[in-house]
Structure 1
Amino acid sequence: MKEEQDYLKHITEMRSMMERSSKFLSLSGLAGIMAGIYALLGTYIAHQLFRFNPAPISYTNTATTERSTELFNVILLGTAVLVLSITTAVLLSLKNAKKRKETFWNVSTKQLVSYMSVPLLAGGLLILICIAKGLIGFIIPFTLLFYGLALYMAGKFTYKEVKSLGLIQIGLGLISACFEEYALLLWALGFGLLHIIYGIYMHYRYER
Structure 2
Amino acid sequence: MSSPYPIIAPIVEGHGEERALRGLLYRLIPHLREGAYADIQPAYRLPRDRILKPAPLRQALNIVYAREPGPTSVLVLLDADDDCAVELAAQVRSLAQQSHAHLPLFAVAAVREFEAWFLAGAAGLAGHLGLPDDLAPPPHPESIRGAKEWLSDRMPRGVSYQPTAHQPSFVEHFDLDAARRGARSFAKLCRDVLRLLDT
User: Does TM, normalized by the shorter one, top 0.5?
Assistant: no
Larger radius of gyration: 1
TM-score (norm 2): 0.21
| Structure with more relative contact order (C-alpha pairs < 8 Å, separation 6 or more) | 1
Where is the strand percentage greater, Structure 1 or Structure 2?
2
Which one has the bigger helix percentage?
1
